[in-house]
Structure 1
């Protein structure tokens, strides 16, 4: 989805005629929603992976989340936050090309504010590298206030609220140009409102409740939080689509009028996906440290060392650029074989052959 979206976004920005812009605007729209539906399950897959890691060997989990690779997870949090910001930015800007979207545009600023708050909490580290003087001045390795937002209770709450906010933005975009006419429209809107408010309250309650539980029990609260988010996704979407029956259109979507900001968000999404995939691949491999197979076959070669954060970042950036240079070359070679449209044939009917 990210590759197709970036390809279509480039052609959209460089298109010369309205028909071509409309076509690639539609391609961007399809690619973006492929990305969104791929993005939403990512944090859940991460929970599952870390659950298996901790179940296999707790020391591996500590190395990942609280040891030498902890700051790589802070970088991962920043990249995931960029993905959510890019997806929501595209949806917000896409509403401008839909008649009737003015009814919901007023809510966008509040959703952006929620994303900023959750993103700040999501990327807050539990502890930071400090000098002895800073450590003494603060009274310990953990900040008395900010440190509370660095534990998983706060981070799970933040990322689930970000996903829920993205789902709400998607539902508003779905109904932007539709006038709901079903007899139970008021009841349906109340149900959707109650689902999202109830989900937000439940996610926040479970996050706060986690601070009163020991660590080995607190990790289990991620399951009801994820279940709440998924229930909101499926129930809200189902009710929203059901309300579209016999709905009246408030106008066609004006393809080809997407703002440049929304198009740039697709580039951000594609690059962030690539960099994040490289980062998590490196983390998954590097957690073995100096083992070929953890605690089974040791790596005794002189190259068995873990990269510093700076070296890892440089290598990941190089790999991302290398991958996208290959994509650009492939697209460029494909464009060389594209042929111009043939001239329109004459409308004259040829004379019949002589008998």
Structure 2
């Protein structure tokens, strides 16, 4: 009876921590309808300011002026946004401050994404091992968390370097942001130490907290690790999104809201959702690469079989998170346009246009690589011969969708090139550069990637139920109906109706 009550209490505690973990993502942020509120409700806050800087800027778009809440009388007023010139930025001979900070920030982002993502599926894998009493899952989860320990140390080091770089090269910007986010920065520091403590207890207590109620305690530490890690990421996201979609600023750039108003800005929830999904896909891919390396260096058949199985599960995690990732990206981009159309235009058609095209190529290459990995895995499965004739048709569709996906609408052309082309748009390929074609292409990429994923998962399985033929027919009908729906929505509603 005592053990049963302890398990009930432990389960309730796990659910409570899980609720705290998911709460920041699903709380409603400022939205377009609030941005369109009557002027009388937002007249207290005038258009936001701009931190004029050659490298880093804090700019408020017109929609933010309306979305900003009226200043609270109890809210602490921050310092005005600094008006800077190039002379106000410290320089070091031979060092490009923008590139230096960008490199450190990018490395910190990569390692941070890994150490946030890995505990998520480690917790799930450990729970599966606990439920099934299969030690293979427990060993795999332990190996995953062991890999993340080294990455965690590098993440902390890079985070310190990033802070140092911002203070050194952008002192006025850092001072201004600190005046607004000082409470959250202090909370971030406390959460960092809490995450470090929980991580090391979780890792070094793995073998000690085994069996009976000890395993529940260890699983609780795993959930706490995920909660603290995601809260850290959410706080850092708030600093980034405030620079993209600030609210509560007057014409001088003085912030009149409280800490929650600064954190809960227009783009905070979209970036949270996108980063959580992207981190899991990224973490699963890294762990899969680790398993592939260990597989190639295995000394006996048992090790090769183990790491082949680890890679199989890591690939499942990566693909399962990769499939919904474009929808999170579309949601984030749609919210950018809702906040400021100029921001979206700049992202996709302005100064960042070529970078966006490169990103499109990388996204397409990512899906092609994921499918190729699945096909290679099927090549090592004896039961996959049933699906091999379909692979070439899937490959043709994926390549065609990829070509449409990264076809640009316009190019940066010289006068002579513009004249020879006959205008800014290609005579035949111009129609493939607008969003209806790209939406159709990316949905075909997703659908056929899921088809490859389904074949991969079913390669060594045979349906034995009496209604197997009916089930397969229903699956074919669902795929056919989905593809027809994608084509109709993309072509008819994209090209033959007024969608503006």
Question: For 2:316 and 2:462, how far apart are their aligned partners in 1?
Answer: 23
Q: Which residue of 2 aligns with 1:77?
A: 360
User: C-alpha offsets along residues 133-184 of structure 1, whole Å, 9 cap, x if unaligned?
Assistant: 2211211101011111111101111111111001111111222222222221
User: C-alpha offsets along residues 86-134 of structure 1, whole Å, 9 cap, x if unaligned?
Assistant: 2111111111222221111111111111110000000100011222122
What is the count of residue pairs matched by the alignment?
A: 216
Moved more, 33-42 or 205-214: 205-214
State which of 375, 390, 410 in structure 2 corresponds to 1:127: 410
Question: For 1:8 and 1:187, how far apart are their aligned partners in 2?
Answer: 38
Q: Which residue of 1 aligns with 2:285?
A: 2
User: C-alpha offsets along residues 163-209 of structure 1, whole Å, 9 cap, x if unaligned?
Assistant: 10011111112222222222212211111111111111110111112
For the pair 1:211 / 2:495, whether they are aligned, the reply is yes
RMSD between superposed Cα atoms in Å:
1.2
Question: For 2:498 and 2:410, how far apart are their aligned partners in 1?
Answer: 19
State which of 471, 494, 499 in structure 2 corresponds to 1:188: 471
Q: Which residue of 1 aligns with 2:233?
A: none
Question: For 2:324 and 2:472, how far apart are their aligned partners in 1?
Answer: 26
Question: For 1:181 and 1:8, how far apart are their aligned partners in 2?
Answer: 32
Q: Which runs of 5+ in 2 are unaligned?
A: 1-283
State which of 44, 57, 74 in structure 1 corresponds to 2:340: 57
For the pair 1:148 / 2:148, whether they are aligned, the reply is no
For the pair 1:20 / 2:276, whether they are aligned, the reply is no
Which residues of 2 match residues 268-347 of structure 1 at below 5 A? Answer: none
State which of 395, 399, 413 in structure 2 corresponds to 1:112: 395
Displacement of 1:215 = 4.8
Question: For 1:11 and 1:65, how far apart are their aligned partners in 2?
Answer: 40
Q: Which runs of 5+ in 1 are unaligned?
A: 217-355
For the pair 1:201 / 2:484, whether they are aligned, the reply is yes
TM-score (norm 2): 0.42
Q: For residues 162 and 214 of structure 1, do their structure 2 counterparts lie closer, same or farther at Cα, with a shift above 3 Å needed?
A: same
Q: Which residue of 1 aligns with 2:40?
A: none
Question: For 2:497 and 2:356, how far apart are their aligned partners in 1?
Answer: 24
For the pair 1:32 / 2:288, whether they are aligned, the reply is no
Question: For 2:448 and 2:381, how far apart are their aligned partners in 1?
Answer: 20
Q: Which residue of 2 aligns with 1:137?
A: 420
State which of 446, 458, 461 in structure 2 corresponds to 1:175: 458
Question: For 1:100 and 1:2, how far apart are their aligned partners in 2?
Answer: 25
Q: Which residue of 2 aligns with 1:259?
A: none
1:144 partner SS? coil
1:120 partner SS? helix
Question: For 2:369 and 2:345, how far apart are their aligned partners in 1?
Answer: 31
Question: For 1:47 and 1:104, how far apart are their aligned partners in 2?
Answer: 32
Question: For 1:31 and 1:177, how far apart are their aligned partners in 2?
Answer: 18
Structure with greater contact order relative to length (CA < 8 Å, sep ≥ 6): 1
Q: Which residue of 2 aligns with 1:227?
A: none
Question: For 2:375 and 2:476, how far apart are their aligned partners in 1?
Answer: 20
State which of 357, 378, 381 in structure 2 corresponds to 1:98: 381
Question: For 1:207 and 1:100, how far apart are their aligned partners in 2?
Answer: 36
Question: For 1:2 and 1:179, how far apart are their aligned partners in 2?
Answer: 28
Q: Which residue of 1 aligns with 2:253?
A: none
